[in-house]
Amino acid sequence: MMTALRLNLSPLREPLCFIKVLEWLAAIFAFGTCGAYIGTTVVSVLCSEGKNETLSATFSYPFRLSQVSLVSNNATLCNRTVAETHLVGDSASSVQFFVAIGVLAFLYCIAALLIYLGYMHVYRDSDFGPILDFLITVIFAFFWLVCASAWARGLQSVKDATGTAGIRATLPLCQEEGVVCDVTEFAPMRSLNVSVVFGYLNMMLWAGNAWFAYKETRWHAQRNSAQHGAGRGPVPAPI
């Protein structure tokens, strides 16, 4: 069996290879739209004396909100000394899992495309390559579902913690009589919403590609052979 590189772009016209390109692009969008995120929430505090105070909290990936300061140590707000206050929540585990799956999928797509375009003759002449490709594709489809769902819940936690209700619950001053706290500038969440969408899109792409990877395995060939053999029926006895 020849194992030398044979560059051939024709597999790009086949679903197995073409979908891998889509998976590569979707993985970039998935981890890129949340991995570089920075947002700022601006809070307006209307004091009972009529004075207006402004607070801001800037947070970013990996969204360890419990480490983000909303009020600095012993700050004076509404003529009161307020202790240091941080936002509530930590979505680091879910978003880091999401980004890790995205990066691994991105790297695997590069390796798979290299094999498809340069070593397809080796890939189709062996049993190990197609079976391994199929199993990895199924595993990635499952992990995309898990990590996208986990990050969707983590993102909702970020939205809740940085919204008006979350800020009021976090800052004791907001619960005092005559003090009104409102978020006047919400951190833009559009790119984070897009990351969740691409997470589920990746799941669908990998699940769909599993069928085309399965068709390359000997399991599919054996199943077709068995069906064709059963369809022919028994050979009639000679008269």
pLDDT at 1: 44
Q: For residue range 157-192, what is the model confidence (pLDDT) as tens digits? A: 999 999 999 999 999 888 888 889 999 999 999 999
CA atoms within 13 A on the CB side of 60: 5
Amino acid at 17: C
pLDDT at 239: 45
Q: Give residue 200's pLDDT band: very low, low, confident or very high (50, 70, 90).
A: very high
pLDDT at 112: 94
Q: Average pLDDT in the 54-82 region?
A: 90
Q: Which of 70, 75, 100, 101 lies closest to 87 in space, CA to CA?
A: 70
How far apart CA 218 and CA 171 sit, in angstroms, is: 62
Q: Which two tokens stand for residue 156?
A: 């909702």
Q: Is pLDDT above 50 for 42? A: yes
Give yes or no for a contact between 134 and 29, defined as CB atoms under 8 angstroms apart.
Answer: no
How far apart CA 114 and CA 214 sit, in angstroms, is: 19
How far apart CA 7 and CA 117 sit, in angstroms, is: 6
Q: Average pLDDT in the 98-124 region?
A: 93
pLDDT at 153: 97
Burial of 82 (0-12, 13-18, 19+ CB in 10 A): buried
pLDDT at 79: 83
Give 177's strand partners.
none
How far apart CA 134 and CA 126 sit, in angstroms, is: 13
Instruction: Name every residue whose Cβ is closer than 8 Å to that of residue 50 and which is 6 or more positions away in sequence.
Output: none
Record the pTM.
0.85
* Percent of the chain predicted with pLDDT > 70: 90
How far apart CA 189 and CA 193 sit, in angstroms, is: 6
- Average per-residue pLDDT for the chain: 88
Cα end-to-end distance, the chain, whole Å: 47
Say which range, 3-12, 35-44, 147-156, has the weakest mean pLDDT. Answer: 3-12
Q: Is pLDDT above 60 for 225? A: no
Q: Which two tokens stand for residue 231?
A: 């369809």
Q: Average pLDDT in the 133-151 region?
A: 96
How far apart CA 95 and CA 99 sit, in angstroms, is: 6
Give 132's strand partners.
none
pLDDT at 201: 97
- What is the 3 state secondary structure string of 144-158? HHHHHHHHHHHHHHH
Amino acid at 96: Q
Q: Is pLDDT above 90 for 64? A: yes
Q: Average pLDDT in the 129-153 region?
A: 95
Q: Average pLDDT in the 134-153 region?
A: 97
